[in-house]
């Protein structure tokens, strides 16, 4: 939010931002009547707006959303109205690892809100963010995963977003990759995670299915390219990017591929 950033840059005081955040959410709630055709729908949309910040970054169920008695249809209509107004974004999962990119609309989506700064404020985690050396440790890593997703969405040039995530659901185990981004005919998996490469279990499972050898990990470290190997012994290139390069993801994928080409030709 420009007003928030400008105010903090001028006064360097988080406590003075509260009235601005509150006025912003109040204005969104007051504007609901623009999107609602009935008094009941106004109430549902207002509830969804208030609840969205607590649910941001999580898998959501429409029925009973935000601990309410509202049903699947009512909540679904409200969420879609807010998505059209660009206040939220629903991210549906893929179950495949190659094109065409067909998100499964029958599965539970992840909810993204319009601004991670507002998520931080309403979740009460602003001080935690300032005190940590790795944003992956804050709010069960929901905040930094959400922020990376926002940056990836902001780089999309198409009306219909090309961003999704991947899930594998089996009776014996489940797996999930944070994001999947189409690039140059490939569906590139992206994980937002700290720790050793050996702990990237879901990413390894995805790469065993993928017809390519490129994956991305965002973390609190330095830019690097490492060679990873899955338990099934498939080798692939892992592009490790610091969080702040999320908006430049495609440029660094291009750079990493040039690096591979140069090494192979030398």
Q: Is the pTM of this model over 0.85?
A: yes
Domains (range + CATH), the chain: 1-85 (no CATH), 91-266 (3.40.1350)
Q: Is 68 in contact with 51 (CB distance < 8 Å)?
A: yes
pLDDT range class, residue 86, cuts 50, 70, 90:
confident
Query: Cα-atom radius of gyration of the chain, to the nearest Å?
Result: 20
Share of the chain above pLDDT 90, in %: 69
Across the chain, mean pLDDT equals 91
Residue 73: what are its φ and ψ, rounded to 5°? -65, -45
pLDDT range class, residue 196, cuts 50, 70, 90:
low
Per-residue pLDDT of 212-264, as tens digits, reads 999 999 999 999 999 999 999 999 999 999 999 999 999 999 999 888 777 66
In this structure, of 3-17, 87-101, 104-118, 157-171, the range with the lowest mean pLDDT score is 157-171
E runs forming strands in the chain: 88-91, 93-94, 110-113, 164-169, 174-183, 186-192, 214-219, 224-229, 235-242
pLDDT score, position 194: 79
Beta bridge partners of 91: 110
Per-residue pLDDT of 21-41, as tens digits, reads 999 889 989 988 777 888 999
In this structure, of 62-76, 156-170, 192-206, 238-252, the range with the lowest mean pLDDT score is 156-170
How far is the C-alpha of 33 from the C-alpha of 41, rounded, in Å? 9
Cα 231 from chain centroid (whole Å): 27
**Per the structure block, which two tokens stand in for 23?**
């006025």
pLDDT score, position 158: 67
How far is the C-alpha of 70 from the C-alpha of 49, rounded, in Å? 14
Does residue 195 surpass a pLDDT of 80? Answer: no
Per-residue pLDDT of 159-172, as tens digits, reads 556 799 999 977 77
pLDDT score, position 263: 63
């Amino acid at each position: 939010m420009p007003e928030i950033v400008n105010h903090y840059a001028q006064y360097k005081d988080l406590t003075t931002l509260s009235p601005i955040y509150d006025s912003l959410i109040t204005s969104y709630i007051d504007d609901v009547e623009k999107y609602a055709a009935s008094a009941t729908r106004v109430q549902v949309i207002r509830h969804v707006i208030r609840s969205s910040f607590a649910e941001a970054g999580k898998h959501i169920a429409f029925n009973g959303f935000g601990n309410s008695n509202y049903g699947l249809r009512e909540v679904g209509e409200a969420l879609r109205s807010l998505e059209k107004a660009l206040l939220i974004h629903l991210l549906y999962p893929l179950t495949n690892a190659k094109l065409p990119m067909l998100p499964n609309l029958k599965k539970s989506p992840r909810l993204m809100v319009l601004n991670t700064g507002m998520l931080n404020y309403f979740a009460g985690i602003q001080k935690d963010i300032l005190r940590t050396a790795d944003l992956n440790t804050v709010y069960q890593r929901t905040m930094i995963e959400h922020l990376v997703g926002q940056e990836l969405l902001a780089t999309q040039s198409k009306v219909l977003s090309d961003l999704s995530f991947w899930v594998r659901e089996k009776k014996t185990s489940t797996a999930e990759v944070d994001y999947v981004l189409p690039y140059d005919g490939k569906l590139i998996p992206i994980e937002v995670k700290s720790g050793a490469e050996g702990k990237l279990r879901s990413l390894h499972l995805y790469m065993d299915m993928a017809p390519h050898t490129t994956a991305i990990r965002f973390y609190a470290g330095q830019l690097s390219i490492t060679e990873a190997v899955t338990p099934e012994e498939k080798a692939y290139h892992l592009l490790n990017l610091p969080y702040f390069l999320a908006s430049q993801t495609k440029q660094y994928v291009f750079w990493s591929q040039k690096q591979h080409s140069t090494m192979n030709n030398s």
